[in-house]
Amino acid sequence: MATMATQPRPAAAQGSPYVPSPAIVVNVQEMTAAEKLFTIEFSDGRKLGQQPGQFVQVSVMGIGECPISISSSPTRPKNFELCIRKAGMVTDYLHTLEPGAVIGIRGPLGHGFDVSELHGKDILIVAGGLGLAPVRSLIQYILDERARFGQFHLLYGAREPKEILFRDDLAAWRESPDVKCAVTVDRGDEQWRGKVGVVTTLFKELPKLNPTETMVVVVGPPVMFKFVVLEVLSRRIPQGNIYCSLERRMKCGIGKCGHCQANNVYVCMEGPVFKYGQLKAMREALE
Ligand SMILES: Cc1cc2nc3c(=O)[nH]c(=O)nc-3n(C[C@H](O)[C@H](O)[C@H](O)COP(=O)(O)OP(=O)(O)OC[C@H]3O[C@@H](n4cnc5c(N)ncnc54)[C@H](O)[C@@H]3O)c2cc1C
Ligand code: FES
């Protein structure tokens, strides 16, 4: 019997941005008490074809749909990964799924990082908490295309050791000669032997950065963003060299409903990745 995953779809549905494509959960990995990493493949075998920094709309029949950043790089196209925090109706349900479950995916959506603008530059990525989920795609991209980039620094901060995401990746990145990776937590615990302090305390470990040749990517909660940007600007890095990814409440994800609007900008279309200069002009975006 044909199922939702195997049933042939009308040609008009296949190209429509409104219609979710059936996709299969091929693996689920528990990362923390609140986050799981889902590996997903489209039922018809098509590749997602994302840019780092883009997102998809994930839907569950009878429950709803929500935007989730793509955590894996287009240089690893076999499948794609989503790191999902339990936060409400759709995400709670997604956390109950096991390999073999069928969900709906629309996308990739939005504007991601302009990787061609990053080519040839030194890269500094600063991520806080769940902010590592959207930038992991870019980190994998840079590591897979390593010869195209200069120095590569990654600073990551979590509130507590038990909230650290992508532990296996962080361990591998810390061993890798291709990236200088430092991790800190706001509050340690009895087992934690690493650094303690907010993510900006890691800036003192950075070498002198070449202001015009360094591109900076900052993704995390608004309070972190504010202090990290001050650090970056104090190193005379121009505003145009700073990228960030913005989370707004979204519904359609394709510029139709206005839910994501900040000032006169539809974040789902023009973002979620913006340059700092663009964000400063959108006062509502930083509130
Ligand atoms: C571009 C983008 C990328 C994202 N990437 C990720 C990601 O990689 N991983 C991830 O885990 N999350 C990500 N998110 C956040 C994720 O989309 C939300 O956590 C998700 O929409 C929650 O959906 P839900 O149905 O599970 O929760 P909901 O049931 O919608 O509830 C979520 C929370 O919001 C509250 N809420 C619901 N509706 C309203 C309302 N109208 N007004 C005020 N509060 C309300 C609820 O009480 C609850 O606390 C991203 C969001 C965006 C916009
Ligand atoms: S989410 Fe509907 S316009 Fe952006």
* The pLDDT of residue 231 is above 80: yes
Q: Is the CB of 17 under 6 A from ligand 2?
A: no
* The pLDDT of residue 2 is above 60: no
Q: Is the CB of 255 under 6 A from ligand 2?
A: yes
Name which residue sits closest to atom 4 of ligand 1, judged by CA: 68
pLDDT more than 70, % of the chain: 93
The radius of gyration of the chain's CA atoms, rounded to the nearest angstrom, is: 19
* The pLDDT of residue 260 is above 60: yes
Give the pLDDT score at 111. Answer: 95
pLDDT class of 4 with cuts at 50, 70, 90: low
Phi-psi region for residue 120, left (φ > 0), alpha (ψ -120 to 50) or beta?
Answer: left
Q: Is the CB of 256 under 6 A from ligand 2?
A: yes
Give the pLDDT score at 285. Answer: 67
Of 209, 228, 51, give the one whose Cα is nearest residue 129. 228
Ligand 1 centre distance from Cα of residue 233 (Å): 31
For the stretch 50-95, pLDDT in tens is: 999 999 999 999 999 999 999 999 999 999 999 999 999 999 999 9
Average pLDDT over residues 168-197: 96
Q: Give the number of the ligand closest to the Cα of residue 17.
A: 2
Q: What is the mean pLDDT of the chain?
A: 93
* The pLDDT of residue 1 is above 60: no
Average pLDDT over residues 109-124: 95
Give the pLDDT score at 287. Answer: 65
Q: Which of 111, 246, 268 to mutate to test the pocket of ligand 2 (most atoms within 8 A of CB)?
A: 268
For the stretch 153-179, pLDDT in tens is: 999 999 999 999 999 999 999 999 999
* DSSP-based helix, strand, coil % in the chain, nearest 5: 30, 30, 40
pLDDT more than 90, % of the chain: 83
Give the pLDDT score at 13. Answer: 66
* The pLDDT of residue 200 is above 90: yes
Name which residue sits closest to atom 36 of ligand 1, judged by CA: 88
Of 211, 214, 208, 210, give the one whose Cα is nearest residue 149. 214
- The C-alpha angle 19, 272, 257, rounded to 5 degrees, equals 45
Q: Is the CB of 80 under 6 A from ligand 2?
A: no
Of 234, 226, 215, give the one whose Cα is nearest residue 114. 215
